[in-house]
Amino acid sequence: MADIKDIIGKVCPDAVYEENERPLAVVPDAKWHDVAVALKNASYDWLIALVGEDFGDALGCMYYLKSTADHSIISVKVVTTDRENPMIHSVSDIWKVAINEEREVYDFFGIKFINHPDMRRLFLRNDWVGYPLRKDYDMNPDLNPVRLYHEEPDDASVSYQEGADGKITAVPVKVFGDNEFVVNIGPQHPATHGVLRFRTSLDGEEIKKIDLVCGYIHRGIEKLCENLGYPQTIHFYDRMDYFSALPNEHCVCSCIEKALGVEAPRRAQVVRVICDELSRIASHLLFFGTFCMDLGATTALFYGLRERETILNILEETCGARMSFNYYTIGGLRADIHETFIPKVKELLAIMPKALKEYHQLVTGNVIFQNRLKHVGILSREDAISYGIGGPSGRASGWANDVRKTNPYAVYGELDFEQVVMDGCDSFDRYLVRMKEIEQSMKIIEQLIDNIPEGEFCAKVPKIIKLPVGHWYQEVEACRGAFGVYIDSRGEKTPYRMKVNGTCLRLASIVDLITRGSKIADLITIGGSLDYIVPDIDR
């Protein structure tokens, strides 16, 4: 706490500090940009979450920053009381990840960011009325009916620039120039892995710029959560990033448990870790299959899905569903593991090394495959940090960021496994990191499967769950990178604000950066190697 006071105090003496779960500083907007620079220089260079919130009396943002040196997390709050024309200084020049996340905040709360290069809506149609996550949003369906006509292509954007005298002027910005050749890819395209749209400006076959258009599967989960009790919100976490359903549930459950002061029994924690790793293997197998299919190796899909079905069988017997498990609950697990769970997992561990060898023989060594991946889509370590790309994609750029190692949760701290880090920075290494992570996940499961302790599988929790007043942020390592949940509670049965912070929006944001100058065919390779899941981008 003293540390953050030192750093911020030098730049902004009138900051207010609050004791919460983590050090929190409330910084006035005028000084926020300077404070952000100071924090970044003090090694808080990973913006892990940018949460917009309607605090009732004010609109504002919570910024969660993580140090890449010692992995400590601090938070900063910036508010504005103006509801008519709210404005906050942008930090998108310091952390590039803020470019799209600030657009998201603008979309949901109408907060305009000063000096942001491109202030457009991100998820909603450009003719949408109102800002849906504000508490006074009018839900009347007549204002926003299902419109069956196409929205106008929106090349005109605006940037609010602050002059030297502090006066703010709206400067019109064009997304694409008049003479640019723009090709539309998506939202219905088999290689975008869902309904994502890229407006791609081309020079011959070379990509000049990509404008990311998302929101084609924006389901408004964060707003829905505000009207549901805490246990009722968990099932949504299966349906965002449906491949890492269990790690996502793990995140929200441990966030609520932390706020409630409950600890899951050891049996539940061990089973959670095993199931998390099982779904990580299943997710990476599907990545292997679909990625190879995008590159034209259709057979690989069938190999990958063959082993994935074995895992789904195991999870189905225990959780009762193939995909939307809803297995973890606040305080532990919804049910004990099935009697066949342990022998079947052991069977899986026996077949996986053989299967992996088969994959490598089938695909990895192939010259065509390697030529299409090596030195394609270079993402440097600095860019990975600036854009907040955690997970396997960031680790392929030589950045050790595995939350399981840096901020261990559940029983990960006691386990012996390696964090796979490679420094090729290209698509081939992003592929290899995932294949190697399968081996590490197997190593974790091997250590735990014979040592599941006896005892309760769920702690005693009150029937009606009310969290105390406060706010919490919890991170886990999901299959695609750090996955965070932010809960703001006002002491009610329902969350006042629940923010879901996945990695996929960040993964999609860097497509523009790392495809520039590549051929258009490489867009498919690069998109596949990043492995984003569209419902997790849009939520």
Partner 1 sequence: MKWEDFNENEYIESLVEELKSSGQNVVVGKLDQLINWGRSNSLWPLTFATSCCGIEFISLGAARYDMARFGFEVARSSPRQADFMMVAGTIVHRMAPVFRRLYEQLAEPKYVIAVGGCAISGGPFRNSYHVVKGIDEIVPVDVFIPGCPPRPEAMFYGLMQLQRKVKVERFFGGVNRKRTREDFFRENPEIAEREHAQE
C-beta neighbour count of 124 within 10 angstroms: 18
Residue 252, interface with partner 1 (CB under 8 A)?
no
CB of 179 to partner 1, least distance (A): 27
Pairing between β-strand 156-162 and β-strand 73-80 as defined by DSSP bridges:
unpaired
Q: Are 241 and 507 spatial neighbours (Cβ–Cβ below 8 Å)? A: no
Of the listed pieces 77-85, 188-196, 393-401, 444-452, which binds partner 1 according to CB under 8 A? 188-196
Q: Are 210 and 473 spatial neighbours (Cβ–Cβ below 8 Å)? A: no
CB of 195 to partner 1, least distance (A): 5
CB nearer to partner 1: pick between 17 and 128: 128
Residue 266, interface with partner 1 (CB under 8 A)?
no
CB nearer to partner 1: pick between 324 and 518: 324
CB of 153 to partner 1, least distance (A): 13
CB nearer to partner 1: pick between 66 and 308: 308
CB of 177 to partner 1, least distance (A): 26
Of the listed pieces 169-177, 230-238, 447-455, 524-532, which binds partner 1 according to CB under 8 A? 230-238
**Contacts with partner 1 in 291-310 (CB under 8 A)?**
301-302, 305-306, 309
**Tokens 């890449």, residue?**
68
Of the listed pieces 71-79, 140-148, 329-337, 495-503, which binds partner 1 according to CB under 8 A? 140-148
Residue 355, interface with partner 1 (CB under 8 A)?
no
Integer angstrom CA distances of residue 62 from 148, 149, 419, 471, 504: 36, 36, 30, 10, 20
CB of 187 to partner 1, least distance (A): 6
Instruction: Provide the residue count of the chain.
Output: 539
The one among 40, 71, 219, 381 contacting partner 1 by CB under 8 A: 219
Integer angstrom CA distances of residue 37 from 12, 33, 185: 12, 6, 37
Of the listed pieces 21-29, 98-106, 144-152, 344-352, which binds partner 1 according to CB under 8 A? 144-152
The one among 52, 110, 132, 377 contacting partner 1 by CB under 8 A: 132
CB nearer to partner 1: pick between 169 and 188: 188
Residue 236, interface with partner 1 (CB under 8 A)?
yes
**Contacts with partner 1 in 320-349 (CB under 8 A)?**
322-324
**Tokens 């292509």, residue?**
153
**Tokens 């404008």, residue?**
211
Integer angstrom CA distances of residue 511 from 80, 194, 299, 532: 33, 15, 27, 10
* Omega of the bond leading into 353 within 30 degrees of 0 (cis): no
CB of 399 to partner 1, least distance (A): 29
Q: Which helix (H) or strand (E) holds 100?
A: helix 98-109
Pairing between β-strand 23-26 and β-strand 73-80 as defined by DSSP bridges:
parallel
The one among 150, 354, 460, 463 contacting partner 1 by CB under 8 A: 150
Euclidean distance between CA atoms 179 and 218, whole angstroms: 32
Residue 188, interface with partner 1 (CB under 8 A)?
yes
CB nearer to partner 1: pick between 267 and 308: 308
The one among 215, 247, 391, 528 contacting partner 1 by CB under 8 A: 215
Q: Are 251 and 317 spatial neighbours (Cβ–Cβ below 8 Å)? A: no
Euclidean distance between CA atoms 504 and 488, whole angstroms: 23
CB of 131 to partner 1, least distance (A): 11
Euclidean distance between CA atoms 289 and 283, whole angstroms: 10
Task: Name residue 65's amino acid.
Answer: L
Of the listed pieces 217-225, 337-345, 452-460, 478-486, which binds partner 1 according to CB under 8 A? 217-225
Euclidean distance between CA atoms 74 and 71, whole angstroms: 10
Residue 311, interface with partner 1 (CB under 8 A)?
no
Euclidean distance between CA atoms 434 and 360, whole angstroms: 12
CA max distance for the chain: 71
Of the listed pieces 164-172, 181-189, 399-407, 437-445, which binds partner 1 according to CB under 8 A? 181-189
Residue 189, interface with partner 1 (CB under 8 A)?
yes
Q: Are 49 and 64 spatial neighbours (Cβ–Cβ below 8 Å)? A: yes
Q: Are 425 and 381 spatial neighbours (Cβ–Cβ below 8 Å)? A: yes
Residues within the interface to partner 1 (CB under 8 A): 123-125, 132, 137, 139, 144, 146-151, 187-190, 194-195, 215-221, 223-224, 227, 235-236, 238-239, 242-243, 286, 290, 301-302, 305-306, 309, 322-324, 534-535
